[in-house]
Amino acid sequence: MKYLKQVLGNDLRQIPMVLALLVLLIGFHIISGGRMLTSSNMQNLISGNAYVLILAIGMLMVIVIGQIDLSVGSVAGFVAMVVAMSARDLHLPWYLAVLLGFALGLAIGAWQGFWLSKMGIPGFISTLAGMMIFRGAVIWLSGSISVPAPKELQFFGAGYLPEWGPAWTNMNNSTLLLGLVAIGLLVWSQLSAYQKAKRGAVGANPALWPTLVRTIGGGVVIAYVTWLFGSGRPGTSFPIPGLVLVALIVIYHIVTERTRFGRHLYAVGGNKQAAALSGVNVSRTYFAAMANMSFLAALAGVMFLGRATAAGPGDGTNWELDAISAVFIGGAAVSGGVGTIMATMVGGVLIAVLNSGLMLMGVGADKTQVIKGLVLLLAVAIDALNKQQGRPSIIGKIMESFQKKDK
């Protein structure tokens, strides 16, 4: 166990979720007769779930501050309808319609943030009202009729990286380049972290082999994913929605982990009174988290609009449930103050894989909902058990057993 801790770090709480994800991928691949881990299925999985994962990024920040947003699906559907109708009825260029949608998302976020930060109304109540308001507004505005989307949005909602370069690679060269860049960044980040640890070490230098294991292991995973997405049928590659999602993951990982605002989020969620006494502007933090959530909901709505090629009155229904599930399955605490972007993405991808695998097995939507509900309940139950005073966590028990074996 001590060697595992050297490679993965002292925080091993996400290992069960990663293992569960791997088991699901391999299990569904075997059961479905090899249809799970294919280029086309993985491309559809990313394109079809990118908007929910984007919602999960914002939802994590809301849950970290100890609140919840039930309106995100309705906001996404409302913004998508406004964008589509602005392009069709007002004859706005597609990019102006999209900018209008983003501005609308920010305005809605400011509205939601106002009720929480200034009026003190809990997010559960204010966003429940928002869910009803914007769900009704979508139906009212559209007259229960679908509205076609600008054709240019299809690239952002369902497009792929372009083809270029030599054919001897037998891959989409844009995806290949993206994979090589990712491997290069992995090598740079791991070596930089090692050099930083080496400079801060007192006495003997830290061992190099854990860094090499992480670098080689991560490089192999990135290489496999690159091949998987880049070796599909001609004209396909890594999806554009996936590229947007990756960019957002990087940005929000930095925001939550390495910025003052990120520290304020966790401080407010951990102990609001203590955070206020230490100089954190709680009201401003609440407002920013809620405004950011609605902006990401607007982005998710625009991306889904491009994928669906039309805005419908039912768009966004129950999206908030999948986003919330991704956050809690990823290990966020119900009480706030705990959770990470990367863990949330693992939880979101696990839900996406569960949906895809059950669909390949021919399981109906009704049974799929039952299974997803049980998975969510299990994840939250494990979190609750781990937080009971005096009760060792499941990971703690596993580590304790391995430590006894090491001795």
DSSP states along 333-387: -TTSS---HHHHHHHHHHHHHHHHHHHHTT--HHHHHHHHHHHHHHHHHHHHHHH
Using DSSP, state whether 325 is helix, strand or coil. helix
Backbone angles phi, psi at 362, to 5 degrees: 80, 20
Q: Is 163 exposed, middle or buried (0-12, 13-18, 19+ CB in 10 A)?
A: middle
- 208 is written with which tokens? 């190099």
Integer-rounded Cα radius of gyration of the chain: 22
Predicted confidence (pLDDT) at residue 399 exceeds the cutoff of 90: no
Q: For 285-308, how does the pLDDT look when each residue is reduced to its tens digit (9 = 90+)?
A: 999 999 999 999 999 999 999 999
Pick from 54, 18, 46: nearest CA to 341: 54
What local confidence, expressed as pLDDT, does residue 395 receive?
45
> Which of these CATH numbers, 1.10.600, 3.50.50, 1.10.3470, 1.10.10, describes 2-159+239-406?
1.10.3470
Alpha-carbon gap, residue 161 to 174, rounded angstroms? 6
Sign (positive or negative) of CA dihedral 13, 15, 16, 17? positive
Q: Contact 335/6 with Cβ under 8 angstroms?
A: no
Cross-strand bridge partners of residue 399: none
Predicted confidence (pLDDT) at residue 133 exceeds the cutoff of 80: yes
Alpha-carbon gap, residue 244 to 249, rounded angstroms? 9
Which one-letter amino acid corresponds to residue 330? G
Q: Is 120 exposed, middle or buried (0-12, 13-18, 19+ CB in 10 A)?
A: exposed
Predicted confidence (pLDDT) at residue 394 exceeds the cutoff of 50: no
Predicted confidence (pLDDT) at residue 168 exceeds the cutoff of 80: yes
What local confidence, expressed as pLDDT, does residue 5 receive?
60
Residue 113: in which H helix or E strand, if any?
helix 94-117
Q: For 344-368, how does the pLDDT look when each residue is reduced to its tens digit (9 = 90+)?
A: 999 999 999 999 999 988 888 888 8
What local confidence, expressed as pLDDT, does residue 284 receive?
94
DSSP states along 244-296: HHHHHHHHHHHHHHHSHHHHHHHHHHH-HHHHHHTT--HHHHHHHHHHHHHHH
Q: Contact 148/310 with Cβ under 8 angstroms?
A: yes
Using DSSP, state whether 221 is helix, strand or coil. helix
Alpha-carbon gap, residue 372 to 382, rounded angstroms? 15
Alpha-carbon gap, residue 275 to 259, rounded angstroms? 16
> pTM above the 0.85 mark?
yes
Using DSSP, state whether 32 is helix, strand or coil. coil
Query: How does the average pLDDT of the chain come out, rounded?
Result: 87
- 171 is written with which tokens? 């891959």
Average pLDDT over residues 96-104: 96
What confidence tier does 200 reach under pLDDT thresholds 50, 70, 90? confident
Pick from 373, 114, 348: nearest CA to 252: 348
- 249 is written with which tokens? 């993951």
Residue 311: in which H helix or E strand, if any?
strand 310-311
What local confidence, expressed as pLDDT, does residue 10 receive?
55
Which one-letter amino acid corresponds to residue 367? K
Residues constituting the chain? 407
Sign (positive or negative) of CA dihedral 344, 346, 347, 348? positive
Q: Contact 39/229 with Cβ under 8 angstroms?
A: yes
Alpha-carbon gap, residue 61 to 27, rounded angstroms? 32
Backbone angles phi, psi at 273, to 5 degrees: -65, -45
Which one-letter amino acid corresponds to residue 76? A
Average pLDDT over residues 133-149: 91
Q: For 58-80, how does the pLDDT look when each residue is reduced to its tens digit (9 = 90+)?
A: 999 999 999 999 999 999 999 99
What confidence tier does 161 reach under pLDDT thresholds 50, 70, 90? very high
Alpha-carbon gap, residue 277 to 280, rounded angstroms? 7
From 228-237, 321-330, 331-340, 373-382, the region with the lowest mean pLDDT:
373-382
Q: Contact 193/257 with Cβ under 8 angstroms?
A: no
Q: How far is CA 152 from CA 52, 96, 157, 280, in A?
A: 21, 12, 9, 43
Backbone angles phi, psi at 28, to 5 degrees: -65, -35
